[in-house]
């Protein structure tokens, strides 16, 4: 019996399968395609040798050969798919951007957390001082009618005292005059109206908030600034109560070495009225540019509630008395932190702002 031309088929198939399994790279696998299953493979040579078989044997031998070749082609395709997907994964891994690395390594500035502005934190501290003294905290609108900002405060139209507040007018196309509040005093009117309507007198409240004046900014003034209004309406309130509150507040907020003084002044909505000054903290009273060489800094105004204001809100001045005060929050921050020029508060220079984080 002549040896079959397919006697080496088993070995050739096993060798091809082993070579496919051993191929670790797509390029190498593809290069070996011709020798493993293609033109130069053992299968093509064996195919040719089938011609030496008797015609009746050729069919079965051809089928065996085709079956072996199909198995090798399948193994090749499967290996190729596997290597291809490995290759894709390797590319993805190499291309991945770790954003954490990018932010830390490449962004030139530090990421810093913000903090409340000096004005905001000063407002909070002032509120705390007054809450500790028994006051409640309230607020009110920044856009007011002429009635709340002036008339109810005993400042009728054309009253010469209007010159004390350079006013921004808001043109809403309405007959009523509307203004940006020039002080927090209109909140006095809102609170007293609400207390009368709700039957909740007495009132002991402070009302912090932003105010606006058509002033040219300078070392002590901003066109948009902040005040704290204080209002007490109760029975048997005297000027001594007012002076005591001012004194207590000054020592509590600025420290024992800072003095407060009241000087006679005029406000249409209080009688008597006073200006409230403290020792200039920048020169400690010696006199400097910020206090215009006086040694004192004006913080605000105060006085006993005028009967005309009680009248405007319907409170009986025979039964109730009270006082009000209003002073600058920005001015307090300036004095507390010895800021020679208040405009630094709104210039947003981070070197300045970071000192108060």
- Residues lying near ligand PHE in the complex (CB under 6 A): 183, 185, 267, 270, 273, 300-303, 324-326
Closest CA to 155 of 353, 308, 307: 308
Judged by beta carbon, residue 12 or residue 277, the one nearer ligand PHE is 277
Closest CA to 146 of 125, 167, 160, 161: 167
- Distance of closest approach, residue 145 Cβ to ligand PHE, in angstroms: 17
Structure tokens at 203: 């009132």
Judged by beta carbon, residue 145 or residue 270, the one nearer ligand PHE is 270
Q: Is 236 in contact with 250 (CB distance < 8 Å)?
A: no
Count of C-beta atoms within a 10 Å radius of residue 223:
15
User: How many angstroms separate the Cα of 124 from the Cα of each of 94, 127, 339?
Assistant: 53, 5, 19
- Distance of closest approach, residue 265 Cβ to ligand PHE, in angstroms: 8
Structure tokens at 3: 């040896």
Closest CA to 138 of 179, 193, 182, 178: 193
- Distance of closest approach, residue 327 Cβ to ligand PHE, in angstroms: 7
- Distance of closest approach, residue 106 Cβ to ligand PHE, in angstroms: 52
Judged by beta carbon, residue 25 or residue 311, the one nearer ligand PHE is 311
Judged by beta carbon, residue 76 or residue 150, the one nearer ligand PHE is 150
Judged by beta carbon, residue 5 or residue 300, the one nearer ligand PHE is 300
- Distance of closest approach, residue 341 Cβ to ligand PHE, in angstroms: 21
- Distance of closest approach, residue 184 Cβ to ligand PHE, in angstroms: 7
- Distance of closest approach, residue 326 Cβ to ligand PHE, in angstroms: 3
Judged by beta carbon, residue 46 or residue 324, the one nearer ligand PHE is 324
Q: Is 271 in contact with 306 (CB distance < 8 Å)?
A: yes
Q: In what order do the strands lie in the sheet with 143-145?
A: 143-145, 178-180, 169-170
In our burial notation (b when 16+ CB lie closer than 10 A, e otherwise), range 102-122 reads eeeeeeeeeeeeeeeebbeeb
User: Rounded to 5 degrees, what are φ and ψ at 24?
Assistant: -105, -10
Judged by beta carbon, residue 167 or residue 270, the one nearer ligand PHE is 270
Q: Is 331 in contact with 220 (CB distance < 8 Å)?
A: yes
């Amino acid at each position: 019996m002549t040896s079959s031309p397919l006697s080496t088929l088993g070995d050739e198939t096993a060798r091809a399968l082993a070579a496919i399994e051993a191929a670790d790279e797509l390029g190498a696998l593809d290069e070996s395609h011709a020798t493993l299953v293609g033109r130069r493979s053992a299968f093509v040579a064996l195919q040719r040798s089938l011609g030496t078989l008797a015609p009746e044997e050729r069919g079965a031998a051809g089928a065996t050969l085709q079956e072996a070749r199909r198995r090798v082609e399948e193994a090749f395709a499967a290996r190729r798919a596997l290597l291809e997907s490995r290759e894709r994964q390797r590319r993805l891994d190499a291309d991945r951007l770790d954003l954490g690395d990018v932010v830390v390594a490449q962004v030139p500035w530090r990421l810093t957390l913000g903090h409340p502005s000096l004005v905001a934190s000063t407002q909070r501290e002032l509120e705390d001082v007054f809450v500790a003294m028994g006051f409640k905290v309230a607020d009110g609108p920044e856009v007011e009618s002429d009635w709340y900002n002036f008339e109810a405060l005993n400042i009728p139209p054309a009253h010469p005292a209007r010159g004390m507040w350079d006013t921004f007018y808001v043109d809403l196309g309405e007959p009523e005059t509307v203004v940006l509040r020039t002080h927090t005093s209109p909140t006095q009117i809102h609170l007293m109206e609400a207390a009368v309507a709700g039957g909740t007198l007495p009132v002991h409240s402070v009302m912090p908030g932003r105010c606006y004046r058509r002033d040219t900014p300078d070392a002590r003034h901003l066109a948009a600034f902040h005040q704290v209004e204080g209002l007490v309406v109760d029975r048997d309130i005297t000027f001594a109560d007012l002076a005591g509150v001012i004194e207590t507040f000054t020592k509590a907020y600025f420290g024992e070495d800072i003095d407060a003084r009241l000087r006679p002044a005029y406000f249409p909505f209080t009688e008597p009225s006073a200006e409230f000054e403290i020792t200039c903290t920048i020169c400690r009273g010696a006199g400097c540019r910020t206090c215009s060489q006086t040694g004192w800094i004006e913080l605000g105004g105060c006085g006993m509630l005028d009967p005309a204001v009680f009248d405007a809100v319907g409170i009986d001045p025979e039964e109730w008395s009270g006082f009000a005060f209003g002073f600058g929050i920005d001015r307090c921050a300036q004095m507390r932190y010895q800021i020679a020029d208040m405009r630094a508060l709104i210039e947003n220079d981070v070197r300045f702002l970071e000192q108060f984080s």
